[in-house]
Amino acid sequence: MKTCLFCQIAKGKIPKEFVYQDADLIAFEDINPIAPIHVLIIPKKHLEGIQTVQRKDQELLGKMLLVARKVAEKEKLKGYKLFINSGKLGGQALFHLHLHLIGGWKKPNEYNGWVKKRLREGGVV
């Protein structure tokens, strides 16, 4: 996928510091964070999104969750959210599968403020 931004990042063609990497996955900070900590976990291989993954990708999908937990532990997050936007109507803007990890709030209800700010800015949560 020549034109895919996340493929370019995964191949190291766009300089980017990874917060995690192994043979299958990389994780890096979101350019427009919606939380104090906002990391994207992506497979190195191009998969369009959760809507098209296949049974052979099961292990990779499970690994994405465990890597998200590992990053959350590394960032010392006491609580966090994980989500995947699927399709344009689900708020997916980049069609290379990515798992969002957001957290870093200090109080239980702090998340709401961040989401409201994001909505005011016209962004997709």
Told to check if 23 binds ligand 5GP by CB under 6 A, we report: no
Distances (CA, A) of 101 to 1, 3, 13, 54, 122: 24, 25, 23, 23, 20
> Which residues are CB-contacts of 80 (< 8 A; sequence separation ≥ 6)?
37, 72, 101, 102, 103, 104
Q: Which residue is nearest to Zn ion (CB)?
A: 4
> In this complex, which beta carbon is closest to ligand 5GP, that of residue 72 or of residue 101?
101
CB of 96 to Zn ion, least distance (A): 3
Residue 46 appears among annotated catalytic residues = no
Strands (E), 8-124: 20-21, 25-29, 37-43, 80-83, 99-103
Q: Which does 1 bind (CB under 5 to 8 A by kind): ligand 5GP, Zn ion, none?
A: Zn ion
Q: Could you say which of Zn ion, ligand 5GP, none residue 46 binds, taking C-beta under 5 to 8 angstroms by partner kind?
A: Zn ion
Answer with the entry of Zn ion, ligand 5GP, none that 96 interacts with (C-beta below 5 to 8 A by kind). Zn ion
Contact 26, 67 (CB under 8 A): no
Considering only residues 51 to 110 of the shown chain, the ones binding ligand 5GP according to CB under 6 A are: 85, 91-94
Token pair 């957290």: residue = 103
Question: What is the contact surface with ligand 5GP in residues (CB under 6 A)?
Answer: 5, 28-32, 85, 91-94, 124
Question: What is the contact surface with Zn ion in residues (CB under 5 A)?
Answer: 1, 4, 6-7, 46, 96
